[in-house]
A = this chain, B = another copy of it.
């Protein structure tokens, strides 16, 4: 039995009343209005009702109701390339006046000519160079401010929307539905942790301590008597593929009971979640809607869904068909 001293200070009867009322509210009405009735929605609701039913065989205490969500392609769009890369491109353009040498230096020369494809021809090394010059060299507070300003103003090249308007309305409802049922919702993304934190709480209701992502190293320094953390051009942790269970264990220290992803980069996170004892829920978002969003899977360079799609079929994981299962994609209603 876990001792939680703080809880004992509030009468048990009061806790019971509140939990009962909260549960009643959480089940009242349909908290997933943007989901069509179908096997996907049914599987979600059935799992949540099972693990929250007091006294039920599959009951899971709230502290263990950990749900992990990939971000790119699972909570918001990721085409034509990951949005963080578009952020980096904008940063290269903003910094270019201070770097005249970039005009003749790849991958920057191509980027500045608007040729993203050409810039990325240099492969992982090109991406790493772009990330390092745009994400390192400043303090954590400065980087946070840069991200906040960009996310408030930058618009997607195809839709013209703010990037935070390209989050999935059905997934926002799912996050809220899980939290209303006592779950703690974590982001576990290959994207940069400090790129997501400045807006994840406002947009997803997920506070910074529940965001897990890739990171570069930081260093503590006292500058003019004031402590700062400086972002270094050195990879700290890649939270993708086999890194996701590592990040989950390191940051949360409990195995999730539910995991939500959309690509092969999420496969190990779903495997790790599935391998625990007791009730489990694994879900993949399948991008099937070329009209309202994008349609891609096995051949895509971004968000490839191939091995994980086979494994989902073999193991009975839930696969959401965006076109069929979602009434709307974005909060704007389209």
Residue positions of A touching B, CB distance < 8 A? 1-6, 8-11, 14, 18, 21-22, 25-26, 31, 63, 140, 172-173, 175-176, 179-180, 184, 193, 197, 201-203, 205, 207-209, 211, 215, 218-220, 222, 226-227, 229, 236, 242-243, 245-246, 249-254, 268, 271-272, 275
Cβ-defined partner of A193 (8 Å) among B10, B215, B246, B253: B253
Cβ-defined partner of A209 (8 Å) among B11, B197, B245, B252: B252
Q: In the complex, are the beta carbons of B176 and A272 less than 8 A apart? A: no
Q: In the complex, are the beta carbons of A5 and B220 less than 8 A apart? A: no
Cβ-defined partner of A179 (8 Å) among B5, B201, B208, B236: B5
Cβ-defined partner of A220 (8 Å) among B3, B26, B272: B272
Report the Cα distance A26→B3, complex, angstroms. Answer: 17
Contacts of A202 in B (CB 8 A): 1-3
Total identical chains: 2
Report the Cα distance A205→B8, complex, angstroms. Answer: 11
Report the Cα distance A302→B258, complex, angstroms. Answer: 43
Report the Cα distance A325→B33, complex, angstroms. Answer: 57
Report the Cα distance A22→B241, complex, angstroms. Answer: 43
Chain B residue nearest to A9 (CB atoms) is B180
Report the Cα distance A222→B242, complex, angstroms. Answer: 10
Knowing A6-B179, A275-B227 are in contact, say whether A220-B201 is a contact too (CB < 8 A).
no
